[in-house]
Amino acid sequence: MSRLAALRELELRIEDVTSRPASVVEAVSTGIDSLDALLPGGGLPRGRATEWLGPRSCGKMALLHRALCGLHALGEPVAVVDAARTLFAPDWMELLESGPAFWVVRPPPGEAVWCADILLRSGAFGTVVLDTAGAVSAPRGVRRSVGVRLQRLAEEAGAVLVMAAELPVAGLRLRFRPGRIRPDLDVPFGPFIPPTRPVRVRVGKGGWVEILVACPLPLAWNPGFRELGRDRKGRR
């Protein structure tokens, strides 16, 4: 067997070990029934990396916000590596008011993966999120060696690892895209921003399923005057 073929076989064996189905490991409920119903085991896998990807303004961060609130309510200490420095602090205050630890780490450029590595090695957090979406210096994905290392650390710590980056190996892959906002018949006048928004979710290689996500800060929109909304980066 040539050296190249041996290396390729080793990579396939590593991928097979690190991407075992989430159904054979413990799954932690997100508290979102419609999302848990789509996930193998009924929640996010513990000890595995979950790839959490979608285009800008598709609702993936609103969904992640609700999921982290659900995990935190179950007693999970949560740490978020905010590499892009885009989280809007007031939206996350509820996680600071009570319950276990909730940390937001804003590392210097290029050190986000290192911070996630340290948080997993500490064993102090049941859930670690690495959010590189929008970071200028962040690569589109992570190298295979980095992905394998983080998966190993998550398994050793028994932690839920969520990464907003493309992973060469992942225990669970979630894709998000915006759904179609439908008029609310209970609202007599429009246009408006509804209190909930549809998000389409794809688990692994399955089909797209639409679920509703509550908007953290619903704002009215009146004819002739547009209130500047807030997303995770604050006022636009």
Residue pair 44/162 in contact by the 8 Å Cβ criterion: yes
pLDDT band for position 95 (cuts 50, 70, 90)? confident
pTM: 0.73
220 against 232, higher pLDDT: 232
Going by C-alpha positions, the residue among 201, 61, 68, 190 that lies closest to residue 133 is 61
Cα–Cα distance for residue pair 19/12, rounded to 1 Å: 10
25 against 160, higher pLDDT: 160
The residues, any chain, with a CB within 8 Å of residue 192's CB and separated by 6 or more, are 184, 220, 221
- The amino acid present at 116, given as its one-letter code, is A
Q: Cα-flanking dihedrals φ and ψ of residue 38, to 5°? A: -90, -20
Q: For 45-50, what is the mean pLDDT?
A: 92
Which residue has tokens 């999120």?
A: 129
What pLDDT is recorded for position 148? 87
The CATH number of the domain covering residues in 20-175: 3.40.50.300
Residue ranges covered by each domain of the chain: 20-175
Helices then strands, counting H and E runs in the chain, come out as: 6, 12
The residues, any chain, with a CB within 8 Å of residue 72's CB and separated by 6 or more, are 78, 95, 99, 100, 102, 127
Would the pLDDT of 236 be above 70? Answer: no
